[in-house]
């Protein structure tokens, strides 16, 4: 299916690795131009080079998105270089384990900046350009907002906020023709996930245990599968879809895992 994304400029936060890179690869394969925004310039450039080697286009800008001023600046830099913006994928963040018992005010607020506040700020600063292009927004979220996980209050709260902002923005931006949806991730096999598993006493057994609870295929989701869903939601092929939380998770959240 031609998603009609050719030459579309799409800002992808946290696009250098894992799920973000899967999204950028999917967009580039459709002829779009993902613009990676992340804190480490070396990681950004490595991702850009890998996409270009595969025949796609990509660009990158370094920014520490927990800094509100950096969010404003990076959107301004993208618009100065490209003159437009056709889509925004809010993806950057990490489960930092700031819990109720082991956390603190400072750590909780810092986690919200890392995982939620830049979603709002990037959308806020990108909005005039998105109105001009009648672009779309996709927020990446986590199952933790719906299932809970334990020991990760800040990340769960941030993801609850991501879900709420998705629905709120979908309403607010109806008159501008800007669609807003979210892709909710459960267990997705990324380099970060693999590093976490390797810290455990029996990594292979832990992975098998996790995968056994994923209803469809007893396997983890891939970044490429997340990327395919995001590309579709950014495209006009999903022209009457807005305000939706799309779970690309092998049925993890909503199907009975006892099966």
Of 243, 228, 252, 236, give the one whose Cα is nearest residue 24: 228
Same domain, 213 and 146: no
> Does one domain contain both 229 and 216?
no
For residue 121, pLDDT over 90 is answered with yes
In a domain, 259, yes or no: no
Domain-embedded: residue 255: no
Regarding whether 82 and 102 lie in a shared domain, the answer is: yes
- Checking if the pLDDT of 132 tops 90, the result is yes
- Rounded Cα gap, residues 227 and 25, in angstroms: 7
**55, pLDDT greater than 90:** yes
What pLDDT score was predicted for residue 258? 81
Residues identified as active-site: 155
For residue 169, pLDDT beyond 90: yes
Q: Is 254 among the domain residues?
A: no
User: Is the per-residue pLDDT at 87 higher than 90?
Assistant: yes
Please tell me the pTM assigned to this model.
Answer: 0.96
Range of the domain at 171: 9-186+222-247
The model's confidence at residue 1, banded by pLDDT at 50, 70 and 90, is confident
């Amino acid at each position: 299916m031609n998603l009609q994304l050719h030459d579309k400029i799409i800002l992808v936060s946290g696009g250098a690795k894992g799920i973000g890179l899967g999204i950028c690869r999917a967009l580039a394969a459709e002829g779009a131009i993902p613009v990676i925004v992340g804190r480490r310039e070396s990681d950004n450039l490595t991702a850009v080079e890998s996409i270009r080697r595969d025949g796609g286009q990509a660009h990158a800008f370094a920014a520490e998105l927990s800094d509100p001023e950096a969010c404003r600046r990076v959107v301004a830099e993208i618009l100065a270089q490209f003159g437009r913006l056709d889509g925004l994928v809010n993806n950057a963040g990490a489960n930092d384990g700031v819990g109720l018992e082991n956390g603190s005010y400072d750590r909780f607020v810092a986690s919200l900046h890392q995982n939620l506040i830049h979603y709002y700020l990037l959308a806020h600063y990108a909005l005039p350009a998105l109105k001009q292009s009648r672009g779309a927004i996709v927020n990446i979220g986590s199952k933790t907002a719906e299932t809970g996980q334990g020991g990760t209050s800040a990340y769960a709260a941030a993801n609850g906020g991501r879900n709420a902002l998705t629905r709120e923005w979908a309403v607010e931006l109806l008159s501008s023709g800007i669609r807003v949806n979210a892709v909710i991730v459960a267990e997705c096999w990324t380099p970060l996930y693999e590093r976490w598993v390797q810290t455990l006493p029996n990594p292979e057994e832990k992975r098998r245990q996790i995968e056994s609870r994923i209803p469809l295929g007893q396997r983890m989701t891939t970044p490429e599968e997340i990327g395919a869903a995001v590309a579709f939601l950014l495209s006009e092929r999903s022209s009457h879809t807005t305000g939706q939380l799309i779970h690309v998770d092998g049925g993890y959240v909503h199907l009975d895992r006892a099966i």
